[in-house]
Amino acid sequence: MQKKILVVDDSFVMRTLIKDIISADPDLLVVGEAINGIETIEKVRQLQPDLLLLDIEMPGMDGIECLKRLKLLSPCKVVIVSSVAQAGSQQAMEARKLGAFDVISKPSGALSLDLKSKKGSDIVRISRRALGLPE
Amino acid sequence: MNDFIEELWSQFAIETQEHIEEIELHLVNAEQNGISAELVASLFRAFHSLKGLATAMDMHSFARLAHRAEDILGVIRDGDFPMNSDVVSLLLAALDEMKMLQLSAVTSHTNVDANSQLLEHLAETFTSMECSAVPRVTPVYAETLTAAPPLQSDPEMLTYFVELAREKIAVISRLLDPFCTLPERADLMQSPECIAQATEEIEQLSYAAKTMDFLNLVVILAHLREALSGNQQKAITECLWELHDQIRYIEHSSGIPDVGANSLHTILTDVMHTNVQRLFTRVLDHLDALQFGGRDGDDLLIAQALQADLSGLNSHLAFFMYSPTCNIILMLEDVFSRAARGELHLFGEILEMTRDEVTHVMEHYRDCSDGGVCARDKAEIASNLQRIHDYIWAYESGCGVVNPIETFRQFMGELNIEPELLKILSPENVRDLMQALEKGEHIFEVTAHLESNEEMTAHFLAWIETGRSRIITNRSLFINDMSWYEMLIVSPLSRIEISQGIQTIDPGGAYLTLKPWSGGIPEREQLLKAIEDTPERQLRIVETVASSGNVLRVQGETLDGFMNLIGEMVLARSRLSHIINHERLSKQVVRLKQQRTGNDPDSDELLELLVEHRNDLMEVDQLLNAALRRLQESAVGLRVVPVEMVFKRLPRIVRDLSMSQGKRVRLEMSGQEVKIDKAMVEILTDPLLHMIRNSIDHGVEMPDVRAMAGKSKEAVIRVSATQRGSGIIIEISDDGMGIDTDKVLGKAIERGLVQRDIAVSLSREAIMRFIFEPGFSTAAVVTETSGRGVGMDVVMTNVKRLGGSISVDSTAGRGSTFTLEMPLSAAIQDVLMVEAAGTILALPGRYVAEVVEIAADELQSVRGEQAILLRGAFLPLHRLSTLLGYPSAAAERCDGIAVVLTNGSQTIGLAVDKVLRRQELFIKEIQESVTAIPGVGGASVLGNGRVVLILDGEDLLRIAKSGAGRL
């Protein structure tokens, strides 16, 4: 059974790249995308994903608020994908406190990645770990 | 390059372009007007996004520039450095460079090095800004997570929770409102969809509550879910109250006052008030059914339903704290639970008493909810309680109904208890015994000689009392010329304790003996089982009827407004239709076709297009017309209600009247499901009540008279409704004495309604009609309600006015039947509202054929009459205001709008100032003087209170024929 993933980022390019990377792993399935916090909450209700790949910097409802609201809705795992929230930053800590599994940075040089490096990327590795899948 | 990457690049171009434009706008604006913290934050975010995008696409120079700009904005965002024109210029320079890099990225997908000077400048600025900034202690966040504080203490979390809770509570209470509100009928079930939806909402709220550690809330929600799955109405209501308490608590603790406790409270109290009202009505209805329903087989079921409703009433009233009052309801509940088990035969007096008490409580409740005081005398309540109590026991001990008491007696007999002692057990004794046994107490039989030893006697009685034992009953008997008492005692003490006690008081055993049991100590379970097994306990199961879909309540006014809107649409359609079918247009088309030479292809094509479009339009118009008609029909269908609405008032009237006259009447009703227009409810009620009264007063005989005539003492009045065509027929028949034609005739002659010599030649029907004459009454006794001769003539007048008719058939000694025929929507008239001479007038809809617009040049004079040519026929025109005799200054104006009025044989055009809308009017009772005005048929009152005259179509046509109002 593939794990359901919801990708949240306000940038289409980012979402596309993240989806592309995730698709390299047959255990993972992107079931939906959201472009802001409100949509995220709606989609989590609808799709009940196993994992959320969540951007922190979003217009409107930011990632932290989104995370807090989500906590009241769903037990779904969350991995923060953001270049702002680097490990050790205040936002990262806050996110971790709110139950985010980990904080990773956005994909770089995604276009040049081959299948192998996609599989080895942070996004895939941390997602698998968050979902309790063998690495 | 594949499509995927191509698509990515084009999206990259779009997104980066958006960010760049946003940045540019804000920066330029900032230089002129200063900048808010909010804008700095969004600038920061925009550069940040650019950085991310560039990194993802491997555009490192672009990313580096964005990163430097982002750094600078970060310092400004944190308030460490103001945004000045130097910074703005620098950022704009960076942006220009980025534009260039973006262009090359998008066109050639290659990374171009950025201007190194600019990069350096940005880096330097950032460093200097940071240095000049007030040094701040940057908190160091440990990577290890300490135990997180409870989420409840995070104010943001609390706010989010409250928001969620508010939303959920609103939905849940809306969904569950119907669950708490008793349905009009006890057997209606709630829909499973509603349960499923509510359950889901509850689960979501429960999840959030769990996260927040609001554990009490979680527990209550779990209970609520359980109650919901079992469709246990009472439990649902209770859970909602608990939920209310919890929400109230959360509101207190969070300091957020409007999570939903208040609305929940309002809903629940409203629901309870509604329920109490409904329960009262239902209880009274059940009583009516028991008293007058006459369907014997159902009595147990009705009693059962009655008991359930009384129980509901009890728990509701308890909430509003009418405690002494509750006791009465509780007592009545007991009465009917016995009746439902067949232990108690329901007879008139108990039902009467119940009705009295329930009515009392109802009034009392009403007083209290009106803000009055609970002023009912406690002594009165107590004496009423006693009355009910006495009735039950008196009845039970007096009648031979097989009941658990018999079973109990038998059971006791098996225990070797003195049969004589058992015989004298009153029902109360039995109840006490049963209660004691249920509590696990024991029964003993003690024989005591209490007369010769006063000290011992006192000792014995004191011992009984201190041991919490009670003497249930006793009898005296003589043994060896000594007076002994045989006593049945219940006690929590065991047999050994009792035996020891007796030995202590009377060591010699000369005065007290404890009778040994043969069957051992009665076991509670055994006893209960014995009672359980009696067949009377096996109750029939009430049939349940599945809910007939969702019922939507709509206010009458809403519906009327809706009808008016449809009316406006119908009118708009008819104008559209008129435009399409306009005489001149069709004439022009015909003319053009005839003139067609074939030399001018342009105009030919134009003509064809015209014809084609006109045909299309006609088709659309037909579709629209059909759809509108269906819409109108279904809207009319919304207005109908079952005739039950009228009938349900009858049992009470029948009961009150027959009681007060000492008559016995059973009411049988049928056809309650026949639908009538809601406005008819009011109209039908009065005539029907009159006729019912009439039947009881004049038709039904006293029970002994009936018995002598060989009829059953109980008379039957049948009320039935049937629908026939577009009318409804209501029949009221009784099996009473019928109408004595000789008596009627005699009275008619006496009152001078008919000449004596003519009277002999009158037919039966003609004689019967006299009873509808004003002031006519043959009743010897003038009762409170009828016999004064007002009534039937009023009925007749009302019925006639509404286009109905009434007839009577009677056989002396066998009964009478009144037949009422009414059009289904008598009082509703479809009208077209127009304005003429500044007055709003209503033209009856069925006479209105269409509305036409008249151009001045269309007017023709035909034989001295103004007319227009409408579809090949001349339409004589009349000005409505003139027709009605209004002085009109506008009489000379000939163009405008005309309503085509027709009765099939005569058609006229009525010129009016304005056509307002088509709507349905409810005809009000009006004085005859109004209808006497030529052309006026009635009047109605509009929503705004304005009176409007409804014109009489036939009358108008008649006046027009006479030549008045001609243009």
CB-based contact B915:B845 (threshold 8 Å): no
List pLDDT tens digits, range B100-151. Answer: 888 888 888 888 888 888 888 888 888 888 777 655 555 544 444 455 566 7
**Which residues have a Cβ under 8 Å from the Cβ of B732 and sit 6 or more positions away?**
B688, B691, B692, B695, B717, B718, B719, B817, B818, B820
Cβ of B52 within 8 Å of Cβ of A73? The answer is no
Chain B residues closer than 8 Å to A11 by CB: 15, 49, 52-53
Whether chain B has a CB inside 8 Å of the CB on A132: the answer is no
Q: Is the predicted pLDDT of residue B490 greater than 50, yes or no?
A: yes
Region B713-736: what's the mean pLDDT? 85
User: Which tokens sit at B459?
Assistant: 């000792």
> Where is B910: in which H helix or E strand?
strand B907-912
CB half-sphere exposure, B524, CA atoms < 13 A: 9
Region B697-720: what's the mean pLDDT? 88
> Where is A64: in which H helix or E strand?
helix A63-71
Chain B residues closer than 8 Å to A72 by CB: 157, 160-161, 164, 207-208, 211-212
For residue B247, the SS3 value is helix
Which residues share a beta bridge with B475? B486
Of A20, A106, A109, the CB nearest to B58: A109
pLDDT for B554: 61
Cβ of A83 within 8 Å of Cβ of B15? The answer is no
| Residues B769/B775/B776/B778 CA torsion (nearest 10 deg) | 160
In the sheet that holds A51-54, the strands lie side by side as A28-34, A3-8, A51-54, A77-81, A102-104
Q: Is the predicted pLDDT of residue B519 greater than 50, yes or no?
A: no
CB half-sphere exposure, B892, CA atoms < 13 A: 1
Dihedral-angle region of residue B364 (phi above 0 means left; psi in -120 to 50 means alpha; beta otherwise): alpha
- Asked if this assembly's ipTM is beyond 0.90, the reply is no
Q: Is the predicted pLDDT of residue B209 greater than 80, yes or no?
A: yes
Give the chain B residue whose CA is nearest to the CA of A70. B208
Q: Which of B295, B266, B515, B283 is closest to B412 using CA atoms?
A: B515
Region A58-73: what's the mean pLDDT? 83
* Confidence band for B345, pLDDT divided at 50, 70 and 90: low
Exposed, middle or buried by CB within 10 Å (0-12, 13-18, 19+), for B685? middle
Distance CA B44, CA B46 (A): 5
Scan residues 82-101 of A and list those with Cβ closer than 8 Å to B: 83-84, 87-90, 92-93, 96-97
Cβ of A57 within 8 Å of Cβ of B204? The answer is no
Cβ of B145 within 8 Å of Cβ of A109? The answer is no
In Å, how far are B518, B668, B766 from B731, measured between CA atoms?
68, 11, 20
Query: Contacts by B37-46 with C-beta closer than 8 Å and gap 24+?
Result: B37/B77, B37/B79, B40/B73, B40/B76, B40/B77, B40/B83, B41/B77, B42/A59, B43/B73, B44/B70, B44/B73, B44/B74, B44/B77, B45/A57, B45/A59, B46/B19, B46/B22
Q: Which among B322-331, B342-351, B354-363, B800-809 has the top mean pLDDT?
A: B354-363
CB-based contact B217:B225 (threshold 8 Å): no
Q: Is the predicted pLDDT of residue A51 greater than 90, yes or no?
A: yes
Distance CA B43, CA B20 (A): 10
CB-based contact B180:B237 (threshold 8 Å): yes
* Confidence band for A5, pLDDT divided at 50, 70 and 90: very high
Give the chain B residue whose CA is nearest to the CA of A96. B145
In the sheet that holds B907-912, the strands lie side by side as B848-854, B896-902, B907-912, B873-879, B865-870, B860-862
Chain B residues closer than 8 Å to A84 by CB: 48
Of B42, B53, B148, the CB nearest to A13: B53
pLDDT for B719: 92
Give the chain B residue whose CA is nearest to the CA of A68. B157
Q: In terms of pTM, does the model score above 0.90?
A: no
Q: Indicate the range of A61-65, B74-78, B461-465, B549-553 predicted with least confidence.
A: B549-553
Strand B860-862 vs strand B848-854: parallel, antiparallel, or unpaired?
Answer: unpaired
* Confidence band for A29, pLDDT divided at 50, 70 and 90: very high
CB-based contact A35:A10 (threshold 8 Å): yes
Q: Is the predicted pLDDT of residue B88 greater than 60, yes or no?
A: yes
Please calculate the CA angle B269-B272-B278 and round it to the nearest 5 degrees: 145
Dihedral-angle region of residue B759 (phi above 0 means left; psi in -120 to 50 means alpha; beta otherwise): alpha
Q: Where are the alpha helices (DSSP H) in B523-600?
A: 524-532, 556-580, 583-595
Pick among A10, A11, A74, A81 to test the B interface (most B CBs inside 10 A): A11
List pLDDT tens digits, range B241-258. Answer: 888 888 888 888 777 777
CB-based contact A55:A17 (threshold 8 Å): no
pLDDT for B565: 77
List pLDDT tens digits, range B18-64. Answer: 888 888 888 877 766 777 888 888 888 889 889 888 888 888 888 88
Backbone CA torsion sign across B561, B564, B570, B572 = negative
pLDDT for A33: 92
Cβ of A12 within 8 Å of Cβ of B143? The answer is no
Q: Which of B852, B828, B843 is closest to B924 using CA atoms?
A: B828
Give the chain B residue whose CA is nearest to the CA of A14. B53
Backbone CA torsion sign across B445, B449, B451, B454 = negative
Backbone CA torsion sign across B575, B577, B580, B586 = negative
Q: Where are the alpha helices (DSSP H) in B133-232?
A: 155-180, 192-212, 215-229
pLDDT for B403: 47
Cβ of B145 within 8 Å of Cβ of A69? The answer is no
CB half-sphere exposure, B490, CA atoms < 13 A: 17
CB half-sphere exposure, B732, CA atoms < 13 A: 23
Distance CA B69, CA B44 (A): 8
Cβ of B53 within 8 Å of Cβ of A65? The answer is no
Cβ of B57 within 8 Å of Cβ of A74? The answer is no
Of B53, B148, B208, the CB nearest to A72: B208
List pLDDT tens digits, range B532-566. Answer: 544 333 222 222 222 233 345 566 667 777 777 77
Instruction: Report the b/e string of B587-596 with b at 16+ CB within 10 A.
Output: eeeeeeeeee
CB-based contact B179:B233 (threshold 8 Å): yes
Whether chain A has a CB inside 8 Å of the CB on B56: the answer is yes
Q: How far is CA B453 from the centre of its chain?
A: 74
Give the chain A residue whose CA is nearest to the CA of B109. A111
Dihedral-angle region of residue B738 (phi above 0 means left; psi in -120 to 50 means alpha; beta otherwise): left
Q: How far is CA B687 from the centre of its chain?
A: 28
**Average model confidence (pLDDT) for chain B?**
75
| Cα of B70 to nearest chain A Cα, Å | 11
Q: Which of B428, B311, B323, B308 is closest to B381 using CA atoms?
A: B323
Scan residues 722-781 of B and list those with Cβ closer than 8 Å to A: none
CB-based contact A50:A76 (threshold 8 Å): yes
Distance CA A79, CA A85 (A): 11
pLDDT for B790: 47
